[in-house]
Structure 1
Amino acid sequence: MKRDIHPEYVETQVSCTCGASFTTRSTISSGTIRAEVCSECHPFYTGKQKILDTGGRVARFEARFGKAAAKK
């Protein structure tokens, strides 16, 4: 590895708009990162995610072609 060509790797404080914060390491020189979402407030991680049926595609397909018969 060549010397003096790599950026400085420092401890960085990441803070979210929900108030959660954690420490990681990064090459950002300021030492702080502000994030809009994190694992504490993102719906996927909190279990509050809503699964949307985009226009009833499955139901529309089944109505058009019917359910496939089980192969024997």
Structure 2
Amino acid sequence: MKQGIHPDYQQVVFMDSATGAKFLAGSTLNPSETIEFEGKTYPLVRVEISSDSHPFYTGKQKFAQADGRIEKFNKKYGLSSKENK
């Protein structure tokens, strides 16, 4: 391996802005903000979404296309399926 080309890793706390959940991981990021976590001071990186708030992991998914396009159009403009026939 070549010397001097690899980034420096450090322990960083990632905090989910939506839920406030925190987890510790190694990262090459070098943020200016710090936080006390489990008795030590670590750099803090704020993230908008993590596994604690993502709908896939929480099970609170929205199904955007539950209806077909035609049914959605008819609901929006007040047409019923009986009027179309």
TM-score (norm 1): 0.67
| 2:51 pairs with 1:39 | yes
Which residue is equivalent to 2:9?
A: 9
Aligned length: 59
Q: CA deviation at 1:55?
A: 5.6
Q: What residue identity is the alignment partner of 1:16?
A: D
Which residue is equivalent to 1:20?
A: 21
Q: What percentage of residue pairs aligned between the two structures are identical?
A: 43
Q: What residue identity is the alignment partner of 1:9?
A: Y
Give structure 2 stretches of 5+ with no counterpart.
Answer: 32-42, 72-85
Which residue is equivalent to 1:56?
A: 68
Q: Could you give the per-residue CA deviations for residues 7-60 of structure 1, whole angstroms, max 9, x where no partner exists? A: 211111100111001001011123321101111111121111011227605x8x
Give structure 1 stretches of 5+ with no counterpart.
Answer: 60-72
CA RMSD after TM alignment? 2.2
Q: What residue identity is the alignment partner of 1:6?
A: H
Distance in 1 between residues matched to 2:60 and 2:15, nearest whole Å: 21
